[in-house]
Structure 1
């Protein structure tokens, strides 16, 4: 039947108008992607928020209901200080034109908002399975602008039209006169061929209109880029919204633990500066802001798919707010007013149970960009902290080895100066002597000297003697000053090693991605640590560390960076080191029981009473312990 429809239209019947197709697709999204209750709430929310405008069509007077930028911003509770409202509204105005993206910007009417919510919350997967992997291209186009001055780098200032993008006066027609003109012809340095959007084609195919609109006018990504400042603002919003659950608002308190700020408090004072710094580290993964004013599609797609596949997950809960109307919540009595911000049961727990020198709400959200948030938020327990437990492998072993769920190690430090013009002495000199003489340049040219690295491993920690531990799920990453992720390779399994100082250990400490010396290798260059192509090494005293990225050698336990295709190395003095366990209350309870048992055993050993007066009994006990007897002299028993 559907094929006959396409054939008839192609044989002479007029193609449906854009408006007809949009209404039909919106109806299908509403029917397949929302429950009846959600759709009822959405209609009520839209009715409460929408403005109405009348206009004349011939002799008829019509009206249109739509949402303004400031209305959406207030409803989603986006903090004004972030400056992200114009960016979000630009995305809404573009995606609202789906599937006729060349018609953007679109008026944010009810049908358009159904499109936006369906795509932003990824509910389109229930209908458009073929286009499930193509949302990244759509999001890029919704954020991109086309401007030859920006593209050529010939102007440091933004054009007037680009300023209009960020003015945010609330009118859909003034959101961007230039912001959506990404269908202009232009040269793309990547030289990639433009293809039809899979998501758009899947939408037409679901309506059986693919033959009618397949070759229609479509926006291109050639010459388009996302302004760095716009994306920085959006990253800050995504960091704030990453922990959001069902029906949680940006103004909702993070938890009952008073040491953690509210969402709104995270956008003020020192918390705001920390948020900006984290956003800057993430932005550095896409471009060098000093050299390029914007992000090209190739870099956008490459970095997101490899280093932060979950960066846009915060949109899911944020846009689902439209599916819940406070005015429809039944009150307990006639005199009671509906709750303005319902707090679900999980909000009784804070996002983090403990504080940390490295871990904070911003870092937690940053981790959720490449580690599923379901394993992080309200699931982490601090197992070890160098500041409180001591910078030693013994303390590390005591606190971490009894956790049998995934763990996250974080280590921060200050870059060591270049060897030229700097004379290292003491422990620093000893550590540098264990590294190969060849030294690569720093991984980033930034003013900050602080670096932060980490590792996610699902296996429990243990001593390594002949082989490393870990699996292909291990992730080595950098958080500062550039966000980067180095996933496990299948070429070898030298993922994690833990070796305490001993006579049989050639290189004590913790290493990730470094091969263990085998056979004669342990004696040839015993003083030099065998660094892997992508590796992180910490010495046994947790004083110094070294991260190496040898892009040319390849073949390591961790894959090389997809964004920084060059050799670099970071040698640093450790300032903080922490280990956080994933698993929640159950695993924390089991570990607490194991710690309590060990404490009781240790106390029992300390209470062994020697010198009771029975010299023979005490001597027998010491001989059984191997402390005296044979050729050993345990001293006088008198």
Structure 2
């Protein structure tokens, strides 16, 4: 008979025992474990960037130090000198990283050295956000930790009212393997530690994220996501320019995205807004959660753990700066919003400053259907159609003859005695919609064209998206380009124009632009059945019936790069990866300088006692 191997409740095979370890000693073990999860080249990059000789030192990191280490600014820059609000967001990140850096004892975030960040904290954050901690604690819920870390202000309040009760001897119970070893840290079973499961005893439902803090984080992460991969080697110079010149644009985009979480948030009530856990973690908010998670991951992958800060090792043949020339509607903030939305709908289309081609700008080419046709019909790849304007005021609605003609041809939904504006719709709103069009444009006076890739996006005053219906009958043929006086439509039936009768036939979710490119209507009816597009995913709007009627001030169409251009971009990315590898190359087989470095970190060599090698 063979011997059976016991398996305990945590799925751990072999004989285990409960051990009690002094808390400070256990924290030291955990920090060493986190260092062992990083690649040697990453540890060397950290040591070089921080200019310290021993990564086990409790080196204090200031907010300005942090901004430099994450590659958000140059070494000698004070963050507030770049932008006052940039200084705010760096402090928000600083506070969040203190909490995550206290893993697994999250409630100890204020008990650190001088209540400051250390190199150890940043290394812990690195393994949390690059997913490597999952190798040790497979079921650790990183997204919940993200929420806790962003709840800094409420966690401070929580800690005051819920004093932590440690045992008298400050011992922590953890499982360990029963094996022949005089080094306890080798035998520890980290996933058995209760603090990983209960988040150090924190009741997550008592916490909240401050609305202003979330807005500033979204602003920064939208800004960072707008930088194309081939510009990462010039990260500091590209980012510096965006922070100085474009912060306001990204703030507007971030506020629109914040409204996707709560339509009633605005610039006036943002600081008093508290976002609770059950509001934050809903299916429709995954787009915001993903932007935050990816943002923190990028701060460590392309910042703290990267050696790209050292410009002396960059090849002189690096790619040239993008020649992208934006416009009023298409700028870095718009690109980032579109990219975020495309990820949300699962589109494979990628949009960067490097693959957008200017096809039509209304203020340059003239607002006419013929001019629009001449500029966009030859493009054989996907396009982005963007229209923007001011909400129609009551005076225009009642007296403008051109609008009255359009209004007569566009069927009413709301009765004349009803106020067509909801509480969240303001008279002075600037309204911007975009449409991703996958097929080449063509005249379609009798039959719609398009496919299921077509998506309508709301960019302002609130973020939203409307995916194409997957109906096998409609086949995504939701677009018409009418050259007989009835303009453009997305989500409409073919308009009627015969026997002196002109009539628009808008769908329940549709965007209609009249032929003079002067007025537009977005309609959203949640209770109808005539729809080429799915209704809003925003929980407060999905059951609302509303319209955005606006006077067009800007209309643009941009081509999304061809296969050839995308191949060139791919080559630039490959070049960047090779440059990064050259930077991070280290000969780990030698017994010289590199071994000395590893001994400095504490990953090889005999350090004695319980703090030995991993």
- TM-score for both structures, normalised by structure 1: 0.67
Mapping of 1:301-340 within 5 angstroms? 301-302=281-282, 303-306=284-287, 309-310=290-291, 312-319=293-300, 320-325=302-307, 339=312
Match of 1:35 in 2: 39
Alignment correspondent of 1:252? 236
CA displacement at 1:451 relative to structure 2 = 0.8
Alignment of 1:514-533 (within 5 A): 514-516=492-494, 527-533=502-508
Q: Which residue number in structure 2 is paired with residue 283 of structure 1?
A: 258
2:287–2:340: 8 Å Cα contact kept in structure 1?
no
Query: What secondary structure, in the 3-state scheme, does the structure 2 residue paired with 1:14 have?
Result: strand
Equivalent residues in 2 for 1:498-513 (5 A)? 498-502=480-484, 508-513=486-491
- 1:403 to partner: Cα distance: 2.3
Residue in 1 that maps onto 2:340: 369
Matched, 1:571 2:549: yes
Contact 1:405-1:458 at 8 Å conserved across structures: yes
Question: RMSD between aligned alpha carbons?
Answer: 4.2
Q: 2:202 aligns with which of 219, 223, 229?
A: 219
For the residues of structure 1 that align with 2:201 and 2:499, how far apart are their CA atoms? 63
* In structure 2, C-alpha distance between the alignment counterparts of 1:96 and 1:24, rounded to whole Å: 14
Q: Give a deviation string over 1:92-135, Cα, whole Å, max 9, x none.
A: 1122123443443574444432231234445667877766xx54
Over 3 Å counting, the alpha-carbon distance change for 1:586 and 1:38 in structure 2 is same
- Distance in 1, matches of 2:30 and 2:41, equals 20
Residue in structure 2 matched with residue 486 of structure 1 by the alignment: 466
Alpha-carbon distance, 1:547 to partner: 0.7
Deviations 1:544-583 (A, max 9, x none): 1001122333663233232432222110111111111112
Change (3 A) 1:396 1:31: farther
Q: Map 1:34-53 onto structure 2 (within 5 A).
A: 34-48=38-52
Moved more, 483-492 or 382-391: 483-492
Q: Hey, what does 1:539 align to over in structure 2?
A: 514
Larger radius of gyration: 1
Instruction: Give the conservation status (yes or no) of the 8 Å contact 1:513–1:558.
Output: no
Structure 2 counterpart of 1:77: 72
In structure 2, do the counterparts of structure 1 residues 418 and 246 end up closer, same or farther at CA, with 3 Å as the change threshold? same
Q: In structure 2, which of residues 294, 310, 328 is the aligned counterpart of residue 357 of structure 1?
A: 328
In structure 2, do the counterparts of structure 1 residues 215 and 543 end up closer, same or farther at CA, with 3 Å as the change threshold? closer
Selected match of 2:391 from 415, 419, 427: 415
Equivalences for 1:361-400 in 2 at 5 Å?
361-371=332-342, 374-400=350-376
2: CA distance between counterparts of 1:123 and 1:374? 28
The residue that corresponds to 1:153 in the other structure is: none
CA distance in 1, matches of 2:410, 2:383: 27
Q: In the TM superposition, what is the alpha-carbon distance from 1:300 to its structure 2 partner?
A: 3.0
- Structure 1 match to 2:585: none
Matches within 5 A, 1:179-194: none
After the TM superposition, which residues 439-478 of structure 1 pair with which residues of structure 2 at under 5 Å, given as runs?
439=414, 440-442=420-422, 444-446=424-426, 448-464=428-444, 467-478=447-458
Structure 1 residue 404 corresponds to structure 2 residue 411: no
Name which of structure 1's ranges 409-418 and 390-399 shifts more when overlaid on structure 2: 390-399
How big is the shift at 1:139?
Answer: 2.2
Alignment check: 8 A CA contact 2:221 2:291 kept: no
Which structure dedicates a bigger proportion of its chain to helix? 2
Q: Which has the higher contact order (CA 8 A, sep 6+)?
A: 2
Return the alpha-carbon distance in structure 2 between the equivalents of residues 136 and 564 of structure 1: 24
Equivalent position SS for 1:178: helix
Mark the CA change 1:369 to 1:116 in structure 2 (over 3 Å): closer, same or farther: same
* The 10-residue stretch of structure 1 (575-584 or 287-296) with the greater mean CA deviation from structure 2: 287-296
CA distance in 1, matches of 2:161, 2:230: 35
Call closer, same or farther: CA 1:458–1:253 in 2, change over 3 Å: farther
Structure 1 residue 234: Cα displacement: 1.6
Counterpart CA distance in 2 for 1:208 and 1:84 is 37
- Tell me the alpha carbon deviations over residues 239-297 of structure 1, each in whole angstroms, 9 at most, x when there is no partner: 3322344783786344xxxxxxxx3343346x443343333333333332456522233
CA deviations on 1:332-370 (whole Å, 9 max, x unpaired) are xxxxxx63x9589675132x6233221112222222322
Q: 1:309 to 1:317 in 2, by over 3 A?
A: closer
Maintained 8 Å contact 1:238/1:311: yes
Kindly indicate whether the alpha-carbon contact (under 8 Å) linking 2:489 and 2:513 is maintained by their aligned counterparts in 1.
Answer: yes
State the alpha-carbon separation in 2 of the partners of residues 127 and 381 from structure 1.
47
- Bigger mean CA deviation after superposition, 75-84 or 579-588: 579-588
1:235 to 206, 218, 225: 218
Match of 2:157 among 154, 162, 178: 178
Superposed displacement of residue 390, structure 1: 2.3
551-560 vs 358-367, which deviates more? Answer: 551-560
In structure 2, C-alpha distance between the alignment counterparts of 1:326 and 1:307, rounded to whole Å: 28
Q: What does residue 149 of structure 2 align with?
A: 142
Maintained 8 Å contact 2:89/2:216? yes
Distance in 2 (CA, whole Å) between partners of 1:404 and 1:322 is 42
The runs of 5 or more residues in structure 2 that have no matched partner are 74-78, 165-186, 344-348, 415-419, 569-614
| Cα separation, 1, equivalents of 2:461 and 2:256 | 5
After superposition, give the CA deviation of every residue in 1:492-519 in whole Å (9 maximum; x if it has no partner): 54553123233xxxx73222222346xx
Change (3 A) 1:353 1:77: closer
Match of 2:96 among 70, 91, 95: 91
| 8 Å contact from structure 2 (residues 335, 351) kept in 1 | no
Report the 3-state secondary structure (helix = DSSP H, G, I; strand = E; otherwise coil) of the residue aligned with 1:264: helix
Q: Secondary structure of the equivalent of 2:260? A: coil
SS at match of 2:327: coil
Asked if 1 retains the 8 angstrom alpha-carbon contact of 2:95 and 2:152, the reply is no
Q: Distance in 2 between matches of 1:297 and 1:236?
A: 21
Report if the CA contact (8 A) 2:233-2:308 is conserved. no
**TM-score under structure 2 normalisation?**
0.69
Q: When the two structures are aligned, how many residues end up with a matched partner?
A: 501
1:114 and 1:344 map into 2 onto residues whose CA distance is: 32
SS at match of 1:375: coil
Distance 2:124 2:150 in 1: 17
Pair 9,588 (structure 1): closer, same or farther in 2 beyond 3 Å: closer
